[in-house]
Structure 1
Amino acid sequence: MPRATPKDDPQPVPPAQPDLDDCCHSGCNPCVFDLYDEALERYQSALAEWQARQAALKVQKVRTVHARPSKPRTRR
């Protein structure tokens, strides 16, 4: 079974925060800042899920390392 690598599950990238000049200040619905807030919430959720997966992978790696049978030691 192939092992998962960071390339298989990259860390989520935060959304780019809009500049104050990106808003037209005319009360648009949705405003660019509303869209940013929604994207930020999705990012934070995705980041939390990614961090949980990474933590589970670390636990799995530790269990795999500790579960390997040790070789009998021989004297030379």
Structure 2
Amino acid sequence: MNDNVPVNQDLLRDDPPPTPPVEPDPGDCCGNGCDPCIFDYYEEARQHYRALLAAWRARHPDVVL
């Protein structure tokens, strides 16, 4: 039995889920100990994404991604 609710395409068009940030490649870091490092920015972006995703899921509790 499939308990997944079909995703309404209008919903995804009108209120799409947030997109996760792209993780930098290890070679993107210069290795000079920058503060903040590119990976610090990535972690901030991930935290922001998680907050946006939680808010989106609260608006659409029946949608399974």
Report the Cα offset of residue 5 of structure 1.
Answer: 2.5
Partner of 1:11: helix, strand, or coil? coil
SS in 1 for 2:51: helix
Encode CA deviations 1:36-74: one digit per residue, 9 max, x unaligned.
00000000000000001012xx5xxxxxxxxxxxxxxxx
| Larger of the two Rg values belongs to structure | 1
TM-score (norm. length: structure 2): 0.75
Residue 7 of structure 1: SS of its match in structure 2? Answer: helix
**Corresponding residue of 2:13:** 7
What is the distance in 1 between the residues matched to 2:40 and 2:54? Answer: 21
1:47 to 31, 53, 58: 53
Q: Unaligned regions of 5+ residues in structure 1, if any?
A: 59-76
Number of residue equivalences: 53
Aligned-pair identity in percent equals 49
Question: Matches of 1:5 and 1:48 in 2, distance apart?
Answer: 16
User: Could you list the runs of 4 or more consecutive aligned residues of structure 1 that deviate by over 3 angstroms after TM superposition?
Assistant: none
Q: TM-score, normalised by structure 1?
A: 0.65
Q: How does 1:61-72 map to 2 (within 5 A)?
A: none
Q: What is the alpha-carbon root mean square deviation over aligned residues?
A: 1.3
> Greater relative contact order: 1 or 2 (C-alpha under 8 angstroms, separation 6 or more)?
2
